[in-house]
Amino acid sequence: DKANTFLSIKMRMPDDGPPSKKFKYTLQHKNNGNHVSDKLQQERRNLPIYPARGKIINQIQRLDTAILIGETGSGKTTQIPQYLLEANVNKNAIIAVTQPRRVAAITISQRVAEEQGTELGQKVGYCVRFEDVTSENTKIKYMTDGMLLREAILDPLMKRYSIVILDEAHERTIHTDVLFGVVKQAQSRRKAKGIRPLKILVMSATMDVDHFSAYFNAAPVLYLEGRQYPVQVFYAPEPQSDYTFSSIVTLFQIHRVEPPNKDVLMFLTGQEEIESAVKTIRDITRSTEENMAPLVVCPLYAALPSHAQLKVFKPTPRGCRKVIVATNIAETSVTIQGIKFVIDSGVVKAKVFNPNSGLDLLKVVRVSKAQALQRTGRAGRESAGSCYRLYTEQEFEQFSDSTVPEIQRCNLSSVVLQLLALGISDIVNFDFMDKPSTESIIAAVHQLHNLGAVVKETSIKLTPVGRKMAAFPLEPRLGKTLLIAKEHNCLEEILTIVSLLSVDSVIVTPQSKREEALAARQKFVSSEGDHVMLLNIYKAYKAVKGNREWCMENFINQRNMRTATEVRKQLHDICVRMDFPVKSCGNDSTTIRKCLAYGFFMNAAELQKDGSEYTSLSSRKTVSIHPSSVLFRCKPAYVIYNELVKTTKCYMRDLCVVDPDWLSEAAPAYFKKKKPGT
Ligand code: CDP
Ligand code: MG
C-alpha cells in the first residue's frame, strides 16, 4: 500500500563498511581523580571521527584556519574540542566552541564534561545569554554565537582564546555570519601585533564548503568519512494541501506495516503545531480498535523544558515504536539513535524580513534542498532507512539549493548596533561572507535612527543613547524601552516585563486542561494587555516566594519564571553599573504602557473602521490579535505588539493598549507621514 502512495527513488549510496580501526590512540585523561566510565570512553572510541583523531590534531596544529566537514552524529561537536585539549593544541588557553542554539550549547557541554570526568563549569563549561557556567579552570567553553559576539565588543582581539571553533556553520545564523568577519579580523590583527596566534576552525555538516574556504583565504577543507547507510526516498504522488494531516497519515501507514522498534522522526515547524500533532497522534492511538504496537510520542522543539527533551534520547521500550515530532532542531543540532523512518513535511519556520515595516516575521517556508537532504540523512545513521517526503519530486526540484543565510533575510538593527559598538562604522563595506543588501542595512540604520541610537554625520555614529542600548543583551527596541523607563521612574516594573519577554512563556495552557487554566488566569488578566498581565503574574509569584504548588495551581511554568528572575537580576546589575536608579511607579500602569509605546512605536496597529481587524501603522498591512492574547476579545483602538507571527493570518503577539498621542509623541518625524488616526 505504501507503493500506491509513494514513488520510490534511490538516494545517494553508502558506506564503505565499518570505519577502519587502523589508528588506535590512548586517550590521555587528566581528570583530577574523577571517575570516567569505561562505557563512555568506549562510546567515544566508537564514533566515526575517532580513527581520524591523529590526522585532525596534526592538521589543526599546522594550520591557522581549517574547515571540517562531517555528517551529523560523527562526533565533531563533542570530540574535536576534547582532542585539541588532550593534545594541548590550545596551548593552555581556552577553546571557544560556538553554537547557534542555546539548548545545544548546554546539553553538549554537559555531555563533554561527563566524558572528561569533570564537573560542569570546571574544565568544560558553557556560556549563553543570561547564564555563565564557566570558571577560571574552564578550557573548553561552549557558547552561543551571540555570546561570543557580545564578548568581542569588550575584547575585539579575543585574547583569552587560542582556538575559536565556529560550529554548525552551515546554519548561517546572523550571529555566525557576523562572527566570521569579526574572528577573521581578530586573527589578522593578532598576527600583525605579534600576539599569540588565533586558530579558526569552521565545522559544518553539509558539503557546500567552497564558499567557506574561499572566504577564509582558501583554507584547507578536512573531510570526515561518515557512516551513511542507503535511504530510500519516497515522494508524494501529488502536492499535499495539509502537511500536518499528511504527516500523521503517513505515520500510521508506517506504523501499521512495519515491525516495532524502528523509530520515526517527523519534521514539523513549531511548538503549537507540534503539540497539536502529538495530541492527535495520541488520540488516534487511544481510540483505535486496531491491534497496533504502542507508540511513544515525543515532541522536540527548542522551548521544550530540558527534562522533556531528554525523553527523546531514552531508548524505546521493546515492542514499542517511538515517534519524535520535531522542528528543524533535529536536522543537525542533535542526534537521536534508532531512527529508521523520516517524515519530511518540507517546511520550516523561518524569520523573514518585511522591508515595508522593517520588521521580522516568523513564517512557514519551504526548506532548501540541502535541508531536505539533511532530514533524509537522519534515517540512515545506523542502518538502511526510508524517508517520506510530503511533496512531489517536481516540487522538490523547485526548492532552492541551499538556505538563504539569515543575514540576507532578517532585520539587521541588532547586528548594526553591535557592529557600531565594536567600532565598525563602515557596515556596507564590512567583510561579510555574503553581503546583506544595502537596502536592509539602510533600513536597520533608519530604525536605529528612529530609536535615537545613531546619528548620520560623515559616517554613522552611535549616540550616547545607542551606546547605552548596546550595553544590554537585548534587541534595540527592548533596550530603548529600558532607557525610557529610567526617565519615567518605572525601571522596577519595566525590568520585570522585559525579563519575562526574554524567556520562554511562563504561561502554561495544557490542551487537556484548557478551561481550568483559563479560569486560573482570570485573576491576573488585565484589559490593558498582556504586559500588564505578565507584571501581575510576577508580583503574585514574588508574593508567594515562587511557591511550587502556587505555580501548579495557577498554570505558571516555574522553571521559566525562575529563569526570568535570573534574567531580571542580570539586567538589574547592568542598570546599577550604569548608574540607572531602579525606581518603581507603584500601580501606575499608564506610565508602564507609555514606556512600552515609546519603545515599540514601530510595532503599532489601529483597529479598522469595521472593527474586525487591525492595520499596522508602519506597513498598512492587515494584522490580527493572536488568540492567546488577553486582548483577543477586547479590540482596543490602538495597540503595540512585540512580535508578528504568520500562520493562517498575520498575528500580533504580546500586546499592550496604547494612546495614539503617545505614538506621535514618541517619534514625531516617524509618524509625520503615517499619523495615527488619519
Ligand atoms: O557534531 P556531530 O553532529 O558530528 O556529533 P556530536 O554532536 O559530537 O555527537 C556525537 C555522538 O555523541 C552522537 O552519536 C550522540 O548520540 C552522542 N551524544 C550524546 O549521547 N549525548 C549528547 N548530549 C550529545 C551527543
Ligand atoms: Mg555538531
Does the structure show a pLDDT above 60 at 1?
no
Question: What pLDDT shows up at residue 355?
Answer: 55
Cell 555570546 identifies what position? 147
85 or 560, higher pLDDT:
85
Summarised one tens digit per residue, pLDDT across range 5-48 is: 232 222 222 222 222 222 222 222 334 445 677 888 999 998 88
Probe residue for ligand 1, chosen from 40, 41, 53, 78 as the CB with the greatest number of ligand atoms within 8 Å: 78
Q: In sequence order, what DSSP letters do the residues of 534-594 get, joined into one string?
A: HHHHHHHHHHTTT-HHHHHHTTB-HHHHHHHHHHHHHHHHHHHHTT------TT-HHHHHH
- What grid cell was written down for 238? 501529488
Q: Which residues of 222-260 are buried (b: 16+ CB within 10 A; e: fewer)?
A: bebbbbbbbbbbbbbeeebeebbebbbebbbbbbeebeb
Q: How far is CA 627 from the centre of its chain?
A: 24
The Å distance, Cα 63 to ligand 2 centre, comes to 21
| Contact (Cβ atoms closer than 8 angstroms) between residue 484 and residue 599 | yes
Question: What pLDDT shows up at residue 292?
Answer: 87
Q: How far apart are CA 162 and CA 52, in angstroms?
A: 22
Q: How far apart are CA 124 and CA 135, in angstroms?
A: 9
Cell 545517494 identifies what position? 12
Which numbered atom of ligand 1 lies nearest the CA of 49?
4
Residue 647 CB neighbours (<10 A): 15
Question: What pLDDT shows up at residue 33?
Answer: 43
228 or 378, higher pLDDT:
378
| Contact (Cβ atoms closer than 8 angstroms) between residue 248 and residue 281 | yes
11 or 120, higher pLDDT:
120
Summarised one tens digit per residue, pLDDT across range 555-604 is: 999 988 998 998 899 899 999 999 999 999 998 999 999 999 999 999 99
| Contact (Cβ atoms closer than 8 angstroms) between residue 509 and residue 525 | no
The Å distance, Cα 335 to ligand 1 centre, comes to 6
Torsion of CA 263, 37, 22, 227, to 10 degrees: 10
Mapping DSSP to helix (H, G, I), strand (E, B) and coil, where does residue 173 land?
coil
Which numbered atom of ligand 1 lies nearest the CA of 333?
3
Summarised one tens digit per residue, pLDDT across range 285-294 is: 988 877 889 9
Probe residue for ligand 1, chosen from 335, 336, 381 as the CB with the greatest number of ligand atoms within 8 Å: 335
State the pLDDT confidence band at 181, using cuts at 50, 70 and 90.
Answer: very high
**Span 233-238, mean pLDDT?**
92
Q: What is the 3-state secondary structure (H, E, C) of 420-446?
A: HHCCCCCCCCCCCCCCCCHHHHHHHHH
Cell 566552541 identifies what position? 97
Mapping DSSP to helix (H, G, I), strand (E, B) and coil, where does residue 253 land?
helix
Edge-to-edge strand order for the sheet containing 221-223?
131-133, 124-128, 140-144, 94-99, 161-166, 199-204, 65-69, 221-223
Question: What pLDDT shows up at residue 658?
Answer: 97
| Contact (Cβ atoms closer than 8 angstroms) between residue 515 and residue 491 | no
The Å distance, Cα 99 to ligand 2 centre, comes to 9
Question: What pLDDT shows up at residue 23?
Answer: 22
**Span 521-549, mean pLDDT?**
96
Question: What pLDDT shows up at residue 29?
Answer: 32
The Å distance, Cα 77 to ligand 2 centre, comes to 4
Write down the mean pLDDT value for the chain. 88
| Contact (Cβ atoms closer than 8 angstroms) between residue 200 and residue 216 | yes
Does the structure show a pLDDT above 80 at 117?
yes
Residues in the chain, overall count: 678
Residue 40 CB neighbours (<10 A): 15
Torsion of CA 562, 564, 569, 572, to 10 degrees: -160
Cell 523512518 identifies what position? 341
Please state the pTM of the whole predicted model.
0.81
Sequence-distant (6+) residues with CB within 8 A of 566 are 130, 131
Phi, then psi, of 465 in degrees rounded to 5? -60, -45
Does the structure show a pLDDT above 50 at 387?
yes
Cα 343-349-354 angle, rounded to 5 deg: 150
Q: In sequence order, what DSSP letters do the residues of 452-483 get, joined into one string?
A: T-EEESSSEEE-HHHHHHHHSSS-HHHHHHHH
Query: Which of 434, 433, 374 minimizes the C-alpha distance to 399?
Result: 374
Query: Which of 545, 418, 519, 426 minimizes the C-alpha distance to 471?
Result: 418
Residue 170 CB neighbours (<10 A): 25
| Contact (Cβ atoms closer than 8 angstroms) between residue 599 and residue 478 | yes
Per-residue CA distances from 366 to 247, 327, 398 (Å): 16, 13, 10
Which numbered atom of ligand 1 lies nearest the CA of 71?
4
Summarised one tens digit per residue, pLDDT across range 263-305 is: 999 999 988 899 999 999 999 998 887 788 999 999 998 877 7
Torsion of CA 651, 653, 659, 660, to 10 degrees: -40
**Span 243-258, mean pLDDT?**
93
Q: How far apart are CA 662 and CA 604, in angstroms?
A: 11
What residues does the ion ligand 2 have nearby, CB within 5 Å?
76-77
The Å distance, Cα 187 to ligand 1 centre, comes to 29
- What grid cell was written down for 286? 487511544
Torsion of CA 471, 475, 481, 482, to 10 degrees: -30
Question: What pLDDT shows up at residue 354?
Answer: 62
Q: How far apart are CA 272 and CA 304, in angstroms?
A: 11
| Contact (Cβ atoms closer than 8 angstroms) between residue 141 and residue 127 | yes
Q: How far apart are CA 23 and CA 56, in angstroms?
A: 12
Question: What pLDDT shows up at residue 386?
Answer: 95
Residue 188 CB neighbours (<10 A): 12
| Contact (Cβ atoms closer than 8 angstroms) between residue 499 and residue 537 | no
Does the structure show a pLDDT above 90 at 654?
yes
State the pLDDT confidence band at 321, using cuts at 50, 70 and 90.
Answer: very high
Residue 403 CB neighbours (<10 A): 21
Ligand nearest to the CA of 76: 1
The Å distance, Cα 78 to ligand 2 centre, comes to 7
- What grid cell was written down for 70? 562531517
Cα 216-218-223 angle, rounded to 5 deg: 95
Which numbered atom of ligand 1 lies nearest the CA of 110?
23
Ligand nearest to the CA of 314: 1
- pLDDT more than 90, % of the chain: 67
Phi, then psi, of 156 in degrees rounded to 5? -60, -20
In eight-state DSSP terms, residue 66 is E
The Å distance, Cα 337 to ligand 2 centre, comes to 15
Query: Which of 482, 478, 449 minimizes the C-alpha distance to 466?
Result: 449
Query: Which of 443, 452, 380 minimizes the C-alpha distance to 416?
Result: 443
- Angle, helices 476-487 vs 491-501, to 10°: value is 160
Which numbered atom of ligand 1 lies nearest the CA of 334?
7
Question: What pLDDT shows up at residue 102?
Answer: 84
Summarised one tens digit per residue, pLDDT across range 452-501 is: 999 988 889 999 999 999 999 899 999 999 999 999 999 999 999 999 99
- Kindly list the protein residues whose Cβ atom lies closer than 6 A to any atom of ligand 1: 47, 70, 72-79, 107-108, 111, 335, 337
Query: Which of 560, 544, 134, 25 minimizes the C-alpha distance to 306?
Result: 560
